Homo-oligomer: A and B are copies of this chain.
């Protein structure tokens, strides 16, 4: 939609990056304008609700990516372990090997938790549920499956924060590597 240069999806990619990097409060229309190559006024043409609408659109946009790379791999063919390994690779990819923040985390701690609490909660819950389902397939009791899936989410989110705080993606990489085993209770 934005110019001939960028499709709406491409523009949302750029917008997403800005929100991920700067959080809701930190992101400005200037940044969003530069990132997309659209004037500020043009942004309002595509997103009449302004910054808030852009953020909502970004949640939907991200939702698709997460579905493809994180959730779908869990329900394909293969043993639970194989599916979890595909999943782990997808998680790594979604966060660019630990170089990119989590949009949800950025929103949680970077303003916008009030505006987007529902979207964040829904997204986190869907992810956790999908992981727990695979663990049940692997014979893990339901409560324990949910508990482990939540623990995995905790570790992924924490790894992203610590990787940023210590300026090294090593912590993220380590968590990703151990994800399938940890979920399967092999530690």
Question: Which residues of chain A have a CB within 8 Å of any CB of chain B?
Answer: 22-23, 25-26, 101, 104-106, 108-111, 113, 117, 120-121, 124-125, 147, 150-151, 153-159, 161-162, 164-167, 171, 174-175, 187
Partner of A104, one of B22, B104, B117, B165: B165
Residue of B nearest to A117 (CB): B167
Partner of A165, one of B124, B158, B167: B124
Contact, CB under 8 Å: A150 / B162? yes
Q: What is the minimal beta-carbon distance from A124 to any residue of chain B, in angstroms?
A: 5
Residue of B nearest to A104 (CB): B165
18 residue pairs of the A-B complex, CB under 8 angstroms, read: A22-B111, A23-B25, A23-B111, A25-B110, A26-B111, A105-B161, A108-B161, A109-B164, A110-B110, A121-B165, A125-B166, A154-B155, A154-B159, A155-B155, A155-B158, A156-B158, A157-B158, A187-B187
